[in-house]
């Protein structure tokens, strides 16, 4: 069975792709992460994770139209696959289970 566990940064990138829905490309992903999490990420780090998640079948990508603003270069947009959605859901359930297992006295 393939490994469907996510590293923390992979999880953050996938959640950000889900938030951005039809507008998820490298720059918007980085901007969203910075805005929501106050977390910096390099273009190279995000692109590496996006490629890895696509290779694992959790994301899919497609090129958008070329624009003059980008000198004719097209953006690569990312979306969750059904596998990616399932892995995120499973990860969320695991995290919730862990949080619920913490004794209440731990936070006093």
pLDDT tens digits for range 75-105: 899 999 999 999 999 999 999 999 999 887 6
Max CA pair span of the chain: 58
User: For the whole prediction, is pTM greater than 0.75?
Assistant: yes
Is residue 3 in some structural domain? no
**30-75 per-position pLDDT tens digit:** 999 999 999 999 999 999 999 999 999 999 999 987 777 666 678 8
DSSP 70: T
**Count of structural domains within the chain:** 1
CA distance 47 to 50: 5
| CATH number (domain holding residue 17) | 1.10.10.10
Does the residue 2 lie in any domain? Answer: no
Q: Which tokens sit at 1?
A: 């069975």
């Amino acid at each position: 069975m393939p490994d469907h566990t996510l590293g923390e940064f992979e999880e953050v990138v996938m959640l950000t792709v889900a938030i951005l829905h039809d507008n998820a490309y490298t720059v918007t992903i980085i901007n969203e992460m910075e805005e929501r999490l106050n977390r910096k990420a390099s273009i190279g780090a995000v692109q590496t994770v996006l490629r890895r998640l696509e290779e694992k079948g959790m994301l899919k990508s497609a090129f958008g139209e070329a624009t003059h603003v980008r000198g004719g270069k097209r953006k690569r947009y990312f979306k969750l696959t059904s596998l990616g959605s399932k892995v995120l859901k499973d990860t969320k359930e695991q995290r919730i289970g862990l949080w619920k297992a913490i004794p209440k006295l731990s936070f006093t």
